[in-house]
Amino acid sequence: MNRPFAMSALPNEHRSELVVNLALAHPPDDRALTGITDVWKAFQGLAECGGLSGETHDPGLARALVRTIDLRERTVSAAFRDVIIDPASLFVLANMLHWLHEKIIPLQRATILWPAHERVVRTDEPQFPDPWPRYSFELEIGELIDDIDLEIELTAPQPKAVTDQVVDALSAWLLATHRGGFANEMFKPEESIVFLGPDVMNVEADYVAWFIKIMRADESALDSLLNVLEWVHQNVAPIRSVSLGP
């Protein structure tokens, strides 16, 4: 995938720190600053909910990251500490920066210092984190054509505060996917979107359903979503079963 700005990725001497340095084409206005912040939050949120753990790290062990931001006239730097994510997450991040360039503010260059304990992959060849191989819940996947129903059955009824956390985790996946994270050669970052259906969701004490009307993204996005649910199972509320399909 051709990037419309210069991009380089190098190992960071700090083993668990990810640093992103952006050179902007012009000073950012308030809208651009909000858009840049939204991208940082979306990437961080997906990482913290296990959506970038892949098969290499247990999604349930994903934890809150420490983020620091440095803004100057035409440069923005973001540092994320305590990062535990799959190497292919670098391509997800590159996609989100590509989306930022096309939709919010042009970039001249992006320099990524990737955690030294993870492999540095190419940022121009589509690759995504693989699914966690040992989900803790029953999983049924039907034909993933057109709209997709996601149904989550919890093992026991939960208070609203807990089901709200389940929805928040799903929303973290939605925000990152809607910002081009899982774009591929068919769906470019600026064209990659996720829209929920008119009913949006159904939330009960022991059941959560999401209705995804349109998903213009690589199917690997659903692997990330299932990893998020593994994180939910281990950290929010035990899940009995998950169903994906029409």
Asked if pLDDT for residue 227 goes beyond 80, the answer is: yes
Determine contact, residues 236/169, Cβ cutoff 8 Å.
yes
- The whole-number pLDDT of residue 72 equals 85
**Segment 111-142, tens digit of pLDDT:** 999 987 788 999 999 999 999 999 999 999 98
**Structural domain 138-245, CATH architecture:** 2-Layer Sandwich (3.30)
Q: pLDDT value at position 13?
A: 84
pLDDT tier for residue 57 given thresholds of 50, 70 and 90: very high
What does DSSP say about strands 17-24 and 6-12: parallel, antiparallel, or unpaired?
Answer: unpaired
* CB-side neighbour CA atoms (13 Å) of 189: 26
Return mean pLDDT, the chain: 93
In sequence order, which residues have a C-beta less than 8 Å from that of residue 103 and are 6 or more positions away?
35, 190
Is the domain defined by 6-115 classed in CATH 3.30.70.600?
yes
Q: What is the DSSP string of 81-97?
A: ES----TTHHHHHHHHH
pLDDT at 200 over 80: no
The size of the chain, in residues, is: 246
pLDDT at 65: 86
Whether 97 and 20 have beta carbons less than 8 Å apart is answered as: yes
Q: Is the pLDDT of residue 15 over 90?
A: no
Query: Residue 197 above 90 pLDDT?
Result: no
Q: What is the pLDDT of residue 119?
A: 86
Please tell me the distance from the alpha carbon of residue 240 to that of residue 96, in angstroms, as a whole number: 33
Beta-bridge mates of residue 22: 76, 110
- pLDDT for position 244: 93
Asked whether this chain's domains 6-115 and 138-245 adopt the same fold, the reply is: yes
pLDDT at 64 over 90: no
Report domain extents, the chain: 6-115, 138-245
